[in-house]
Amino acid sequence: MAAENRAAEARMAAEAIDAPAQPQSGRVGRVWAEARRYPLFPVLLLLVVLVIPAIFADWIAPHDPKLGTLSTRLLPPAWMEGGDPQYLLGTDRVGRDILSRVMHGARVSVIIAGIAIFIAGVLGTTLGIAAGYWGGWVDALVMRLVDISLSIPIILLALVIVAATKPSIANVVLVLVLLLWSRYARLVRGETLAVRVQDFIARSRVSGASHRRIMLRHVFPNVFNSVIVLATLNVGFVIILEATLSFLAVGIPPPQPAWGLMVADGRVLIASAQGWWVSLFPGLAIMLVVLSMNLLGDWLRDRLDPKQRQV
């Protein structure tokens, strides 16, 4: 484990500076290159599917996301036979409006992904910088913790945590933080090792800067880009994991409108003519957001941190 970071780091050090962009071939290539310069498509999608609903759900959602009536149960989307124009994307097994739930679900996703990634990022980055900067026993301790965290099957951990308490958003966040922090710690530690040996660090140490100041002012800015890229790429993973936790009934508790919960809840009807729409629309929302987030992350990475290799 530790060695593999060292290996990557050694490889990095051995490699030349930035790879110049590959020569682009053909007109099509150039168009794509242009389009890739600004990821308009993913950003637009994110705005429509995630950001706007998350902010304005209270005003634009046509119905209460938690209340439904059995008499409007499992109505198909409005354009289909038997659909009701009041319920554009149909209703779920308890008669709640799916469109409203998808909109409010965006907020839950933003909250969960935001909080979990923020905490994991701060925790992982701090420990990673400390480990990389100090080395020695600090490094050994942090890397052992990383090892432990990586070798515990996270699903089991989630089940046990929820069994010990009860399903809640806080628990989902806790599980996600426990899962994610080690990825940041690994990444940041590796980058810190590479930064630490550079001349400017030594220079500022000579000129009397404290360790804390060096870590904050010199190391942190140098690893920040990688962290941002990883955070962006993690959003999708978080949303998918939330769904998996709901599948195992340890995710966000009903009747909260969370996408993963909605998909997991509607899976019985996933191939049924009676209710395929229950899981399809939240599923589509997940897919679009995860796709756009990943495209955005890839774009950011090419921009900010072309050397990074993250899973």
Partner 1 sequence: MVRPTILAAVAAALLLVIGVACGGTSQEQTAPAAQSQPEQPQTQPQEQQQAPAAEQATAADPPTAVPTVIATATPSPTNTPTAAQETTALGGTLRIATIPPVQQLTGSWLGTTTSANTQVRPFTDPLVHTDRFDGSLVPGLATSWKANEDGTQWTFFLRDDVDFHGEWGPFTAHDVPTSAALIIREDAIATDTGLFRGLFGDTEEELLTNIVALDDNTVQFNLKTPNSLMDFFAGAQQGNLFVYSKNQYETDGIEQLQENPAGVGPWVFESRTIDVNVKYTRNDDHYRRAPFFQAMEYVLIPEETTRLAQLQTSAVQIGEVSRELHLDAQSSGLAVLQSELPSIQVAFIIGGIYNPEEAGPCLTEEFQNCFYQPDEPHLNPMVREAINRSINRQEINEQLFGGIGRQHTVWGYHPALPGYNPRWTEEFDEKYGFDPEKARQLLQESGYEGYKLKLLLTELPGVPEMIPMGEAAFTYLSNVGIDVETEAIKWSDYRAKYYRPGKTHGTIAATRGTYRPADITLRFYNRSGGAGFWRTSVDPMTDILYDTATQSVDPEVKAQALSDLGDLKFDLYSEVPIVWLPAQIVVAPAAIGEMVWPGNINASFTHTEYITPAAQ
Partner 2 sequence: MQRYIIFRVGQSILTLLVLTVIVFSLARLSGDPLDVLLPLEATNEDAERLRAAWGLDRPLYVQYFTFIGNALTGDFGDSLRVRGRTAMSLVLERLPNTAALAGVAVIVAIAIAVPIGVMSAVKKDTAFDYIGKLIALFGQSLPAFWLGLMLMWVFAAQLGWFPVSGNEAGPISYILPAVAIGWFQVAALMRLVRSSMLDVLDTEYVKLARIKGIPEWKVVWKHCLRNAAIAPFTYFALIIGSLMVGSVSIEFVFAWPGVGRLAVDAAVTKDFPVVQAVVITFCLVYIIANLLVDIAYAYVDPRIRYN
Max distance between CA atoms of the chain, in angstroms, equals 77
Does 138 bind partner 2 (CB under 8 A)? Our answer is no
**Contacted by 286, from partner 2, partner 1, none: CB < 5 to 8 Å by type:** partner 2
Count of residues touching partner 2 (by CB under 8 A): 69
Instruction: Show the site string, 208-237: x = touches partner 2 by CB under 8 A, - = not.
Output: ----------------------------xx
Q: Which region, judged by CB under 8 A, interacts with partner 2, from 21-29, 44-52, 85-93, 218-226?
A: 21-29
Please check whether residue 96 is in contact with residue 226, taking contact to mean a CB–CB distance below 8 angstroms. no
Does 33 bind partner 1 (CB under 8 A)? Our answer is no
CA 276 to chain centre: 27
Does 206 bind partner 2 (CB under 8 A)? Our answer is no
Q: Tell me how far apart the alpha carbons of residues 5 and 176 are, in angstroms, rounded to a whole number.
A: 23
Task: For Cα atoms 165, 168, 174, give the angle at the middle one, nearest 5 degrees.
Answer: 80
Instruction: Show the site string, 191-230: x = touches partner 1 by CB under 8 A, - = not.
Output: ----------------------------------------
Q: Which region, judged by CB under 8 A, interacts with partner 1, from 53-61, 178-186, 228-236, 268-276?
A: 268-276
**Contacted by 205, from partner 2, partner 1, none: CB < 5 to 8 Å by type:** none
**Contacted by 1, from partner 1, partner 2, none: CB < 5 to 8 Å by type:** partner 2
Does 68 bind partner 1 (CB under 8 A)? Our answer is yes
Could you tell me the smallest distance in angstroms from the CB atom of residue 46 to partner 1?
17
Q: Tell me how far apart the alpha carbons of residues 85 and 128 are, in angstroms, rounded to a whole number.
A: 53
State which residue, 21 or 70, has the beta carbon closest to partner 2: 21
Cα–Cα distances in Å, from 149 out to 142, 153, 311? Answer: 10, 9, 16
Buried b (16+ CB within 10 A) or exposed e, 225-235: bbbbbbbbbbb
Does 136 bind partner 2 (CB under 8 A)? Our answer is no
> Which amino acid, residue 9?
E
Does 255 bind partner 1 (CB under 8 A)? Our answer is yes
Out of 16, 21, 273, 311, point to the residue binding partner 1 (CB under 8 A): 273
Angle, in degrees to the nearest 10, between helices 169-196 and 2-14: 50
Please check whether residue 89 is in contact with residue 277, taking contact to mean a CB–CB distance below 8 angstroms. yes
Does 48 bind partner 2 (CB under 8 A)? Our answer is no
Does 298 bind partner 2 (CB under 8 A)? Our answer is yes
Angle, in degrees to the nearest 10, between helices 220-247 and 154-164: 70
State which residue, 101 or 183, has the beta carbon closest to partner 2: 183
Angle, in degrees to the nearest 10, between helices 52-60 and 98-134: 150
- The three-state DSSP-derived secondary structure of 190-227 is HHHHHHHCCHHHHHHHHCCCCHHHHHHHHHHHHHHHHH
Q: Tell me how far apart the alpha carbons of residues 206 and 61 are, in angstroms, rounded to a whole number.
A: 60
**Contacted by 159, from partner 1, partner 2, none: CB < 5 to 8 Å by type:** partner 2
Does 170 bind partner 1 (CB under 8 A)? Our answer is no
Chain contacts with partner 1 (rule: CB under 8 A): 66-71, 73, 77, 93-95, 163, 166-167, 249, 253-255, 267-277, 280, 283-284, 287, 291
